[in-house]
Amino acid sequence: MATLGIPQNTIAVLQKYNFNFQKKFGQNFLIDTRVLDKIVQASEITKDDYVLEIGPGIGTMTQYLCEHARQVAAVEIDKNLIPILADTLSEYQNVEVIQEDILKVDLNCLAQEKNHGNPIKVVANLPYYITTPIIMGLFESHVPIQSITVMVQREVADRIQACPGTKDYGALSLAVQYYAKPEIVANVPPNCFMPRPAVGSAVIRLVRYKERPVQVLDERKMFAIIRASFNQRRKTLVNGLNNAAQLPYSKDQITEALEEMGLPVNVRGEALTLEQFAKLSNLLQ
């Protein structure tokens, strides 16, 4: 394989096809073989695995995935990249390139048809402008997923992995940690990409829980409570929840629930663990 992770090889392909980067698609291609090795290693792909890659670009990581996985599906929105991918992936029989917006692909159907409904692994250098909808979409649509190993903005990786009481802790931390155990596996500086992004990046691995870490009577209600708690971060939880138009709870109901949980009535949402949000949501049910 002519490793595209080597900058000269990427430049040669871009020149051959006179390719223009599209900023609106978040196109920052990887040009560092150590980072590519690290991502593939962290994703623990084997020849048994069906892998979904989101945004293959010119196929730099796709080549690595084809070498390690049984089968790869690569979903790319930019039609100008399709002929390039046909070229750079021509020696691999185990890849299917799908030209589509990842947010419109029926991934349940893909997993069912191509992997008999068995869990798939997702690996990607994500387009940063849609990181959260992609990750939450993967979890919330209940696609059978074993793990997600993705490059994201460093700041987003920090938010995903954050613990209660820290500045980065918020609705995204809780939403992801409800479904998966997060681990930042590498920090990646801008010079590993072409063109260089304005922000630092990180590779984060999310290993999906077989069973949810907390028992909650109504998931949607719990997430509505979580969102309301962080919408007004500097308010106490009692005021934040009471002010939220979409929640019907009185101050007395919320105070009573907090007291039952042994929490002070002036507690803020950022202090509560996922377990405590689940309990609060169940008590308010």
Contact between residue 78 and residue 98 where contact means Cβ atoms under 8 Å apart = no
Instruction: Scan residues 124-153 and list those touching ligand SAM (CB under 6 A).
Output: 125, 127, 130
Instruction: Give residue number: closest CB to ligand SAM.
Output: 55
The residue among 123 and 206 lying less far from ligand SAM, judged by its C-beta, is 123
Distance from C-alpha of 58 to C-alpha of 9, rounded to nearest angstrom: 11
Cis preceding linkage at 195, omega within 30: yes
Q: Does 182 bind ligand SAM (CB under 6 A)?
A: no
Size of the site for ligand SAM (CB under 6 A): 23
- 27 near ligand SAM, rule: CB under 6 A: yes
Name 94's Cβ contacts closer than 8 Å, sequence gap at least 6. Answer: 66, 69, 70, 71, 72
**How many other C-beta atoms can be found within 10 angstroms of the C-beta atom of residue 259?**
11
| DSSP class of 137 | H
Comparison of 123 and 226: residue with beta carbon closer to ligand SAM: 123
When the beta carbons of 60 and 242 are compared against ligand SAM, the nearer one is: 60
Q: Which of residues 56-75 bind ligand SAM (CB under 6 A)?
A: 56-57, 60-61, 75
Provide the minimum distance between the beta carbon of 131 and ligand SAM in the complex, in angstroms, as a whole number: 10
State the DSSP code for 212: -
Site for ligand SAM in 76-105 (CB under 6 A): 76-78, 81, 101-103
Closest contact distance (angstroms) between CB of 50 and ligand SAM is 18
Q: Are 187 and 252 in contact (CB under 8 A)?
A: no
User: Considering the complex, what minimum distance in angstroms separates the CB of residue 142 from ligand SAM?
Assistant: 20
Tokens representing residue 198 in the block: 């304005």
Paired strand residues for 123: 53, 149
Nearest distance from C-beta of residue 151 to ligand SAM, angstroms: 7
Q: Which two tokens stand for residue 77?
A: 């929105």
Which of 25-33, 160-168, 252-260, 271-279 is the region at the interface with ligand SAM (rule: CB under 6 A)? 25-33
- Name the 3-class secondary structure at 29: strand
Q: Which is nearer to ligand SAM, 30 or 202 (CB)?
A: 30
**Closest alpha carbon to 149 in 195, 112, 202, 218:** 202
Q: Which residues here bind ligand SAM, judged by CB under 6 A?
A: 25-30, 54-57, 60-61, 75-78, 81, 101-103, 125, 127, 130
